Amino acid sequence: MPHTPHRLEIENISIGYGDKIILQDLSFQVPHGARVAVVGPNGAGKSTLFKALVGILPLKSGKIFIHGESLGAHKDCVAYVPQREDVDWRFPVTVSDVVMMGRFGQIGWWSNPSKKDKQIVRRSIEQMGIADLTDLSIGQLSGGQQQRAFLARALAQEPHILLMDEPFTGVDATTQEVTFGLLDHLREKQVTSIISTHDLNLAASRFDLVLLINHRLIAFGTPKQVFTKEHLAGAFGNSLLVMEDGMMLVDECCPPEEEHHHAEVK
């Protein structure tokens, strides 16, 4: 993998709101088709990083390159699966409406969806196992089904880079496996995926690379390289407990709407 061209290059970026800097001087490079877990304590700037990567939050400094060109040069090569609480579930759209929105980048401003677009939408919905829910409005679905609808949209977008913000928080086991199934499928297509998660076990066992941040870059590399005592202590500080046998416990307080969460890693 080191010899393939880098798909995503982050060069010394700083991001923040107003005068407040959330992420300082971050640099890393993600190769072709890699699966990256973004981990760090709450408020470390994971969502902020994603907002910068999709281009809704301007950079204070630094540069983002995709395929060697600056962010924004390519249309719709980044797909984003939003965090659950960022979606208005009462909005009057059906599952197929949501997935079709993923095609809008290809469809052109004043044209109707083509046969091909409709086909891609149908296939994406089938692949996520929600074909029988196509015409239901999104508010009628369960949490896991809602997430799969958004995964289907990301699939229909045919992205080069897929961003997912906390897709494993509060979803059922089926949805988690469907999500990893999608990630495997996308890896075959050389799609790079960048996923934030609280679950350090998942990050350690099912990802190629881990990006550990806490307002700055703590470590970036394979799970083995990243999950060391020093790095975790650097990211989680006092909420890290090291046991005698080498087991480490991370106790971190989640946002109020989530349950209290224990993640551990060996």
Query: Rounded to the nearest whole angstrom, what is the least distance from the CB of residue 152 to another protein in the complex?
Result: 13
Tell me how crowded residue 260 is: count the other CB atoms within 10 A of its CB. 8
Kindly tell me which residue out of 56, 115, 238, 260 binds another protein, with binding defined by CB under 8 A: 56
> Residue 49 or 226: which CB sits closer to another protein?
49
Least distance CB 104 / another protein (angstroms)? 6
CA–CA gap between residue 122 and residue 56 (Å, rounded): 29
CB of 158 to another protein, least distance (A): 13
Per-residue interface string for the shown chain with another protein, residues 148-187, x marking contact by CB under 8 A: ---------x------------------------------
Residue with tokens 């010899």: 3
Nearer to another protein, 14 or 94 (CB): 94
**Minimum distance from residue 116 beta carbon to another protein (Å):** 17
Contact between residue 37 and residue 52 where contact means Cβ atoms under 8 Å apart: no
Among the listed residues 11, 24, 65, 105, the single contact to another protein using CB under 8 A: 105
Q: What is the DSSP letter of 141?
A: S
| Cα–Cα distance list, 93 to 7, 102, 132, 156, 210 (Å) | 34, 13, 16, 17, 36
Q: What is the DSSP letter of 253?
A: P
